[in-house]
Structure formats: C-alpha cells, structure tokens
Amino acid sequence: MAYVAVRGGKAAIEASLERLTFERLKSKTHLPVSAVEGGLRLLVDQVMSEGSLYSREVASIAIKQGEGNPEEAVFLLRAFRSTLPRKYYTQTSDSETLRVERRISACFKDIPGGQILGTSPDYSHRLIDFDLCDETEKGIREWLGAYLKKLEGERADGNDSPSDPAESLSLPKVISYLRKEGLLRDRPIDDREPEDITQKSLTFPTTRAERLQILTRGQTGSVTAFGYAALRGYGVMHPTVGELRVGMLPLTVSDPYHPDDGDGDGDGDGYYIGEIKITEVETLIPVPVSRGQGKTEIEFELGYGACFGQNETKAIAMSIVDHCLETKNEKYPTHDEEFVLYHVDSVEATGFISHLKLPHYVTFQSKLDSVRKTRKGELR
C-alpha cells in the first residue's frame, strides 16, 4: 500500500496560501507593525519570552503574520531565531541592578524602598471599556500631553512618581533581609557554567539552570496550569510572593581581548550593550522540618521565576514549578521533571498536535484493514 498521488497538489497549496492572505486582508484594514508593538504590549512580551528572542519589532511582525495567534507567532519567532549567528554570551547579570518600574511584596507591607505599584491591570475594574471604540489619535496625544505635564509638575515639586519609567530605581531585594535573619534554608551555591538548552539535546536528570531555561520559554498557559495544579494539592503548601519585580536589566558582554579578570568566572572587562525588560519573582514556600522528638518547625525555601517583558502570572507560576522540580517528590506529577519539561514547550506541543492534520492515509488504512479482518473473523 502506498500514498495516492493527488493531481494539482501544488496548485491547491498555492490556492490555500492565497486564501490565507485574503482572510487577513478582506476587511480592507491595515494593521501597522508599530500598532502591534505599541498596542499589544503584553502579547509581544509573551511571544518574545516563549520565542526565546528579545526583539519587540520581530515579535510584532510575527504576531501580525500569525494574525494574533500566539502559538503561530512563537513558531515563526523560533524559526527566525534559528537563522541568527551566536556571537556572544552576556556576562552574569545581578538582578539587584534592575531598574525597577514595578515592585510588590505579598509578604511584607513595609519593604525598603517601598511598594511600587507601577503598571498593572490588577487594580482596575474588569469592565469592558466601550470608550475604546471612539479612541482617536488626537485624543491619545491630548491624554499623553496632560499626563507628561502632570509628571513634570510632580518632579518640580520634588515628588517623584514611581510610575514614571524615567524615575525607576535600583532597590535592594526583600529576600536579602530574610537571609540575614537566617529564616531561609541555606542552599549550596552552584557556580557551574549553565548549559545552553538551545544548543544541545535535553538529557535527564537536568540541572536547575536547564529547568529554568525551559520554563522561561515555556508556553504561558502550560506553565500556569502546572503551577495551578501544584497549588491545588500536588504537594505544595501555600506559597507567598516574597518579591515581584518588573524593570530594565542592564546587559554586558566580555571584552574579546580581555575576557577574564583572573577569578575564573569569565566576567572581566565588559561592554554595556543595552537593557531588556524582565519580570522576576522570588516566592517563599513554607516547608515543615522535623527537629526530632515529634517536634516540627517551619522553614522557608525559595522558588524562582523570570521571563522577558511583563508577564507576572507566568513568572509566579514558574517559581512554584521551579520549587516542585527541585524537591522531586515522586508522588506528584508536578514534581516529575520529564513530565513537566517535555510538555510546557509551545512549539513542541503545537507541532505534535498539528501534525495530526497531515496525511495519515497509509497508517490509517492499515489499521482499518486490521479491524475489517478482525470483524470478518468474528462473524465466521
């Protein structure tokens, strides 16, 4: 048995591609890439993180080409990423240097530097704003002019607005104070150079660095679902967000002529190449510890999450899953690194599901013949 040749297959494919373009353009409206980048900020952030490429412009093009489908946009972005040369790895970045635009803690009301609400829909009423239907460029310019004038007035009065990106700050971490008090369980420092999961096949068991890489480029919905499953009863006590930060992280690359400063970490003289927006979360998870003679105390362990752009739900869920995979409790699927890591990647998952649309004539006919022979045998 073999595949049956279909006449006009090439013509049919070309017609399908033309139809795809027609569906995108039939409303006779033009969506500029700049409008995607400016108006769909959080979607662009999500696609950049899952696509593992920090480029707002290219991510916006992918979103436009994929007609707003994030899975298709991520697929396009990953494909484009695979064509780019790998020239440098950045030096180790200390997230304490993050220029903070938003910073909250669910553990403490008063934290050094204060809570900075920044940009978030968390404090808005979840009501459809039908006024957006009447939004105009003139109205946008007027609103922006009034808002910037207000910020200038606040700065002139000496009241810097923490919501103003120009006034973002480098602030100490909340977790550092808990460490000083000895309230966090000590963990050995792993200074091994992390493997790049995009350059080698994944093997088990994995290192924490590999797991964090996979989770940060994992599908937002999948990572969130695993984090939610862990919260609902798969082995995790109620965690609390120690600190959530959104801000700009400066990046440097080593001087190619003086790559090492002598301490062996490869972080010698470097060049500042720019900054990227990230969301970083450190979650505190209470863990019961036996002290003998029937006594149990609570200690705290950390879960960590970070991703490109502003994607707070994913970063929090990632921190929960990170802790699950660190503890490796065999009773729970959320603690099984092979189960989790193989199923959070959007390109892998989408590709495998989508391949079911491709021709399976030979295999299905083989199964069908087997069923028919079995039925005939039963009827005799």
**What is the pLDDT at residue 134?**
93
Residue 169 per-residue DSSP state: B
Q: What is the CA radius of gyration of the chain?
A: 26
Instruction: Work out the percent of the chain whose per-residue pLDDT is above 90.
Output: 56
**What is the pLDDT at residue 266?**
53
Q: Distance between CA atoms of 333 and 345, rounded to whole angstroms?
A: 17
Show the tokens assigned to 84: 């780019």
Answer for the pair 244, 101: CB distance below 8 angstroms, yes or no: no
Q: Provide the b/e sequence for 232-271 (b: ≥16 CB within 10 Å).
A: eebebeebebbbbbbbbbbbbebeeeeeeeeeeeebeebe
Residue with tokens 């963990």: 187
- Residues of the chain short of pLDDT 70, as ranges, are 1-8, 158-168, 234-237, 259-268, 378-380
The domain spans of the chain are 9-81, 95-113+169-344, 136-168
Instruction: Work out the percent of the chain whose per-residue pLDDT is above 70.
Output: 90
Residue with tokens 């019961």: 288
Answer for the pair 319, 288: CB distance below 8 angstroms, yes or no: no
**What is the pLDDT at residue 362?**
86
pTM for the whole thing? 0.88
**What is the pLDDT at residue 298?**
80
